[in-house]
Amino acid sequence: MIDHLGINCSDLERSATFYDAVLGVLGHRRILDHGVAIGYGTDKPDFWIGRQPEEGPASGPNREIHVAFTATSADAVRSFFDAAVEQGAEVLHEPRHFPEYHPTYFGAFVRDPDGNNVEAVCHTVAPS
């Protein structure tokens, strides 16, 4: 449903290091790097991070967004979580089932370097 999503970052290099690590374990990669914007995906850039403008309407405080990245398994969710924690991410929710969302929802939530709520989720993991 979503073609692509982009967020502004206060420190593009720090954010790129974070997203290189956490998206890499999910099978995604840095596809394009324009210096002021970096696109990630598997076949095309679906997720973009960009340098926060110093002037203009987008130069103010960054507002928290939530983005969930698809994971192929519970192990991939755990790898995402481990990579994020290794990068110093704040833990919001450790990897677990979230039956309040649906019976096979398995996810983990962290904050990226700019305070955004990022998640890895697999929709096919049966509770044990």
The domain spans of the chain are 5-51+62-122
Residue 47's contacts (CB-CB under 8 Å, 6 or more residues apart) are: 4, 5, 6, 19, 23, 28, 39, 40, 41, 67, 69
The tens digit of pLDDT for each residue in 98-115 reads 999 999 999 999 999 999
The tens digit of pLDDT for each residue in 5-38 reads 999 898 999 999 999 999 999 999 999 999 999 9
Whole-number percent of the chain with pLDDT over 90 = 79
CATH of 5-51+62-122, one of 2.60.40.1530, 3.10.180.10, 3.40.50.150, 3.20.20.140: 3.10.180.10
pLDDT at 55 over 90: no
Task: Check residue 69 and give left, alpha or beta (phi > 0: left; psi -120 to 50: alpha).
Answer: beta
Mean pLDDT of the chain: 92
